[in-house]
Amino acid sequence: MNLFRTRGIAATASLCVATTAMLSLLGVEPAQAMSPTQPTEAALGFNVFVLGNAALTSNETEGPVALGGNLTIGGNYQVAGNQVGTFTVGTDARPSALVVGGQVNLAGSDAASRLSVLSDGYVKVGDLTGVDVRNIDDNNTMNVDTRIVRDGALYNSTPRVDLTISQPVASVGPASPIDFAAAFTEFRTDSSTLGRCTENVTLTDAANVPLPDTFPAGTQAYITLTDGVTNVLNISAELLNNLAGLTFRNQPNEDRPLLVNVGTTAVMNNFAWTVANQAGLSSAAYPYMLWNFPTALNILMQPNSATLEGTLYAPNATLTDRSPNNIEGQVIVSGLVHGDARNNGGEMHPFPFEGILSCAGPVTPTFFTRASPDVTLGGTVFDTATLDEAASPTGTITFRLYGPDNAECTGMPVFDYTVEVDHGNGEYPSPTFTPTAVGTYRWTAEYSGDANNNELFSPCDAENESVVVNPRATTTLSTQASPTVPVGGTVTDTATLAGGQDPTGTITFRLYGPNDADCTGTTVFSDDVTVDNGNADYTSEAYTPVVAGLYRWTAVYSGDANNLGATSSCNAANETVLITPQGSLSLVTDASDDITIGGTVTDTATLDGGQNPTGIITFRLYGPNDATCTGMPVFTDEVVVVSGTRTYTSDPYEPLAPGTYRWTAGYGGDTNNDPAASPCNAANESVVVNPRGGPSIVTNASDDITLGGTVTDTAALTGGQNPTGTITFELFGPDNETCTGRPVFTDEVDLVPGTTRYTSAAFEPTAPGTYRWVATYSGDANNDEAVSPCNAENESVVVRPAAGPSLVTRASDDVKLGGEVFDRASLTGAQSETGTITFQLYGPGDRRCERRPVFTSTVDVSGDGRYRSESFRPERPGTYQWVATYTGANGETASTECGDRDEQVEVKKKYYGGRPRP
């Protein structure tokens, strides 16, 4: 993990074990102290040390050079003009000033180029393919200065490598005396560890005031080093380029070496560097300055760069040096391009790094989190993280919210947000979030850490990190319309709101009519009333109908953050009002009292108003249990209206069956009076006919289950005269909506004196679906039979199927003929610890995957996870289709279907020169 001075540079990490109940430390490894080390020791004293290839054009390296790859020459280049080094192989008479682990690529070099190895240094080449090593000239003069020329070329030909000494040909190669891979393993480890060192150097302005975390281009910075420690400056590539100058108030030396860690993550590890001028330094300081690039992959030194003073340490990067100014120190890189045809690369001067570096790691702050209180659905939640005991913290805190009821915080969070740590230690709240479902939600919080502080994590189910979203209260709305009035009178509606939690909002009253039986027409009147008194009565404004007829009210409560809405719908009880013509009469009715079967019932109608009414009043009785009075009446009676008499009673009728009966009464009108009616379900127009000693049975089925559980039914028998006998429980299903045919389970329970509640035996369904209970009391000599019928309330139970595995797949991208394809599968819900996924690939033209697959790959799986088939190289162009099948060790399966678009891959023909090759 590499952490740098600027904001916005990400550090990757993985979860570690929680260090306390509230936090855990994150990281590939904890940022740790760097023990004293000499990071360039493996360079063996070479001034330039390269893992791979090098292209040397201009103009020189005054010290020895070693590269593990191939050497290409682009011009007249000099090596070891000032220092030959100390690396001597075996019994060689001279140190090796140039080591090439691969080939001297003269075939790819500039035709007139020449590389000169000075100071009588030797050369070592690992692969002499394509070249001749000569110390005999074209006149057969022996022991002349050794040269490397193209295979079969003349001694004076170019391109070539010149030595200033006659080196024995056999000692040149082919063999590399250096293990470059091992050396760069050490470099990369040291570079990464140094990159985690905690910053202890502060850049200031000329007045010694610390620079801000970010500063603009052209900034002049000053630096003061501390004796007795490794001085560490962590800076991003962006800020390093913003420096116009860096002035040293005291120079690095053996007692105060300087380590500059340059973060390149924000520039995708490709850094175009304009080196700033460094002032206040002499050559004595160069061996104690190290510019460390832990993650850089490419570094370009721009032509307008100043001289770089100190060692350039970038073991993962290719350096392209186009600066005409010098590098005063070692160069340790993965690849090197020194100058080119247009740019003089300057000189690289031998100042090997001599410093010993060490540093301490970041601190581990404390990290406390606390979620907001529980809310009602519609409210908002948030989380707060408190950072304490951190060392000048920066970075970010990422909040994630999981739920509802995601106990392990797996899958995608329902909300996440990242906040900047921009005011040091203290509280950092997340933004608010409005949950859309009830349940328990769980927060996690993650502090990214920075150069001075380790990363921290508040895990799933941490203390104080859960918040319960409660359902909104269920309100009830009961309504009562005003009584019948003649045209010209006013009507209102009154709604009673109950059951709410301090309800607010509005109640909207709407009036339909006249004679709009289903309230689908345009409203004749509407009124919004503010709910400002909690649970209470609210009355609409008055309205004056202008046309006679039957009007219907509806009322709708809007609900609010804590309360659900409620509706009194069209044709609700007490929500119709009759508007009579001017001078018309009204009909007020009153049925007789409830009876026991064997008794008689009557209805009474009172005519109110009118002008000496005559005619007929027709009484009709509907039932039992005809709630809408749409069936045939069980009794009809016509009574003649006599002038001067206002109240009339029907003949008595003896019902034959128990239940609820409903009277209607209609006055037919006459010459002087309009008809009037008392409709179905009018007030006081229902009469209950009770059975003889009739008990009632109330039932309640057990809760819904998953396949494999058991269900029961419970019946409560009330009323009756000391009932005896049995209750028979019958279970129908699955999905037998009418409870016809044979039940899947039957249980008969004997009644026990003094007991009113009885439960059936348990039954385990064998198939999913909706099951329906029917419970029947047998009756006895003193009590009628009682039944809880099919589809009675609370008598259905849903048996859910057991969960099964799921397989989601995606094929590789389209390829050209000759490329490779493969398939990927994501397995979830697996119930077996082991199993296999078989990937089958069907060829062009096999749209239904009916032929033999052209390729099959079977991979072992170990529970949920992501899996990949082996690769396959198709031999024909066209559309190929993958099908994947999972088989668990316990026998469960899941598969994809042929023709899934995500499982298709197109193999395209190759094209050559604009025309397809057959």
Distance CA 660, CA 665 (A): 17
Task: Give me the residues of the chain with pLDDT under 70, please.
Answer: 1-33, 361, 581-584, 643-644, 671-672, 692-694, 781-782, 802-803, 911-918
- Measured at the CA of 329, the angle between CA 324 and CA 333, to 5 degrees, comes to 85
As a three-state string, the secondary structure of 702-716 is: CCCEEECECECEEEE
Per-residue model confidence as pLDDT tens digits over 304-357: 999 999 999 999 999 999 999 999 999 999 999 999 989 999 999 999 999 999
* Contact yes or no for 546/524 (Cβ under 8 A): no
The DSSP letter of residue 853 is -
- Strand, coil or helix: what is 135? coil
Which helix (DSSP H) or strand (DSSP E) does residue 824 occupy? Answer: strand 823-828
Strand partners, 72: 55
Q: How many CA atoms lie within 13 A of 531 on its CB side?
A: 28
pLDDT value at position 583? 56
Cα dihedral 647, 650, 651, 653 in deg (nearest 10) = -140
Ranges in the chain annotated CATH 2.60.40.3930: 476-580, 806-912
pLDDT value at position 897? 92
pLDDT value at position 14? 28
**Which CATH number is 476-580 given?**
2.60.40.3930
Distance CA 229, CA 733 (A): 82
Peptide bond into 624 cis (omega under 30): yes
pLDDT value at position 582? 60
φ/ψ of 187, rounded to 5, equals -60, -45
As a three-state string, the secondary structure of 574-590 is: CCEEEEECCCCEEEEEE
Q: How many CA atoms lie within 13 A of 529 on its CB side?
A: 24
Per-residue model confidence as pLDDT tens digits over 679-689: 999 999 999 98
Cα dihedral 153, 159, 164, 166 in deg (nearest 10) = -20
- B/e letters for 854-880, b = 16+ CB within 10 Å, e = fewer, are bbebeeebeeeeebebeebebeebeeb
Distance CA 652, CA 595 (A): 12
In sequence order, what E strands does 575-673 have? 576-580, 585-591, 595-596, 603-609, 615-622, 635-641, 647-649, 659-667
Which helix (DSSP H) or strand (DSSP E) does residue 566 occupy? Answer: strand 566-568
Strand partners, 553: 511
pLDDT value at position 169? 97
pLDDT value at position 297? 98
Q: Is 372 exposed, middle or buried (0-12, 13-18, 19+ CB in 10 A)?
A: middle
**The tokens of 252 are what?**
């690095």
Per-residue model confidence as pLDDT tens digits over 516-542: 999 999 999 999 999 999 999 999 999
pLDDT value at position 473? 79
The DSSP letter of residue 186 is H
Distance CA 762, CA 714 (A): 11
- Strand, coil or helix: what is 42? helix
Ranges in the chain annotated CATH 2.60.40.1930: 15-31+362-469, 585-690, 695-800
- The residues, any chain, with a CB within 8 Å of residue 359's CB and separated by 6 or more, are 33, 34, 194, 197, 198, 200, 230, 232, 259
CATH topology of domain 806-912: Immunoglobulin-like (2.60.40)
What is the DSSP pairing of strand 823-828 with strand 331-338?
Answer: unpaired
Distance CA 679, CA 550 (A): 10
**The tokens of 493 are what?**
């509606």
Q: Which of 856, 854, 862 is nearest to 836 (CA)?
A: 862
Regarding the domain with residue range 585-690, which homologous superfamily does it belong to in the CATH classification? Macroglobulin (MG2) domain (2.60.40.1930)
- Strand, coil or helix: what is 829? coil
pTM of the model: 0.44
pLDDT value at position 136? 97
CB atoms within 10 A of CB 520: 8
* Contact yes or no for 413/404 (Cβ under 8 A): no
Query: Taken in order 719, 720, 722, 725, is the CA torsion positive or negative?
Result: negative
**The tokens of 825 are what?**
């599968």
Cα dihedral 539, 545, 550, 555 in deg (nearest 10) = -30
Distance CA 67, CA 522 (A): 90
φ/ψ of 188, rounded to 5, equals -70, -40
- Strand, coil or helix: what is 398? strand
Q: How distant, in Å, are the alpha carbons of 514, 732, 785 from that of 492?
A: 15, 49, 46
| Cα end-to-end span (Å), the chain | 52
**Which CATH number is 695-800 given?**
2.60.40.1930
* Contact yes or no for 740/772 (Cβ under 8 A): no
**Which CATH number is 15-31+362-469 given?**
2.60.40.1930
- Strand, coil or helix: what is 82? coil
Give percent of the chain with pLDDT exceeding 70.
Answer: 94
Which helix (DSSP H) or strand (DSSP E) does residue 242 occupy? Answer: helix 237-242
